[in-house]
Amino acid sequence: MTVYMFFMFMCGIWIFCSNRKHLLLTLMSLEFIVLVLYFMIYLYLMEMDYELFFSMVFLTFSVCEGALGLSILVSMIRSYGNDYFSTYSVLQC
């Protein structure tokens, strides 16, 4: 089971690194990574017979991270009209 979770995590990292054009795809890959990490923490806490309070704290922080990412996405779309990284003059090197 841990090999499968590690494979899912690495797939999420690979998708995050390969999608550089759209902000929405980047945010979705980050949410996938957070969900895999949450599931791994949940399985670990259940296996060791610990309390699940930490998983609720992690879930709360991941929801706040998702809301912050979506608010940034909405403000960038309202300002620039799309979510392409190439159109932002601030993000170009």
Residue-wise pLDDT tens digits, 34-83 = 999 999 999 998 898 888 888 889 889 999 998 998 898 888 888 777 77
Alpha helices in the chain (DSSP H): 2-18, 23-47, 53-80
pLDDT of residue 38: 92
Enter the pTM of the model: 0.79
Domains and CATH numbers, the chain: 2-87 (1.10.287.3510)
Is 84 a residue whose pLDDT tops 90? no
Query: Contact at 8 Å (CB) between 58 and 40?
Result: no
Is 91 a residue whose pLDDT tops 60? no
What are the phi and psi torsion angles at 47 (to 5°)?
-70, -35
Give the orientation angle of helix 23-47 with respect to helix 2-18, to 10 degrees.
Answer: 160
CA distances from 75 to 36, 82, 83, 85 (A): 28, 10, 10, 14
Looking at per-residue pLDDT, the higher value among 74 and 88 belongs to 74
